[in-house]
Amino acid sequence: MLSDDLPTRPVVARKRSQADMPRFQRVKISVLGRYMLADRREFPCQVLEMSPGDAVVVAPVAGNVGEKIIAYLDHIGRIEGVILEGVEGGFLMEVSASPRKRDKMSAQLTWLANKEILNLPEDRRHERVVPDNRHSTVVLDDGRRYNCKIIDISLSGAAIELAVRPAMGTPVTLGRMRARVVRHFQDGVAVEFAASQEMLSVVQQNLRIN
């Protein structure tokens, strides 16, 4: 059963226009989950498009415009917000979240949208997660240093947003960890650590730049 910290009756809020809403770019994903309406009824759902500010949800019961909603989505976790409008087969919901949570959600959505591109053989053996601190640095062997943002990490590697594209096989230092470039994608590169780690907490500690 989903958490039931919603009002017992549907609450209808003022419908927000698109001009009122922050602008976020949606990505196409396919994520399963469950949602709970304001009357505590629960249903399965699937999210087809999502941004840190809204989501297009395929759902058996659409609910009312302005109704508060809670959902638990695979790979993303708990989200909450209100229904903005009905769409064919479901609804569009606004996602309420703090700036920090939106930043983490953006990383999760980037990973979900690119998971086929980033599905390296070693990552099939190791779970990938979004780290708590996503900011780090990449240092090339010639001493050039670049700020980067971590998309996700595993015990054996990481996907990072990076302004440059070192050649495949290039040795780099990510935070304090030796690695090599194994894949290019639109916004950065994937690297494989020189030595596979035993704990994700060790990976996150070694990604810190100070």
At 109, is the secondary structure helix, strand, or coil?
helix
Instruction: Tell me the per-residue pLDDT of 14-35, one tens digit each, with 9 for 90 and over.
Output: 444 444 445 678 888 888 888 9
| Range 35-54 average pLDDT | 91
pLDDT of residue 18: 44
Boundary (domain end) residue, out of 98, 130, 149? 98
Spatial CB neighbours of 86, under 8 Å, sequence gap ≥ 6: 62, 65, 92
CB 182 within 8 A of CB 156: no
Split at pLDDT 50, 70, 90, the class of 132 is: confident
Q: Is 190 exposed, middle or buried (0-12, 13-18, 19+ CB in 10 A)?
A: buried
CATH number, position 50: 2.40.10.220
Residue 79 pLDDT > 90: yes
CA-closest candidate to residue 51, choices 122, 110, 131: 110
Boundary (domain end) residue, out of 29, 63, 98? 98
What's the mean per-residue pLDDT of the chain? Answer: 79
pLDDT of residue 126: 57
- By residue range, what is the domain housing residue 80? 18-98
Note whether residue 8 is domain-resident.
no
Distance CA 172, CA 144 (A): 10
Residue 7 pLDDT > 50: no
Note whether residue 71 is domain-resident.
yes
Answer yes or no: do 197 and 125 share one domain. Answer: yes
| Range 59-65 average pLDDT | 90
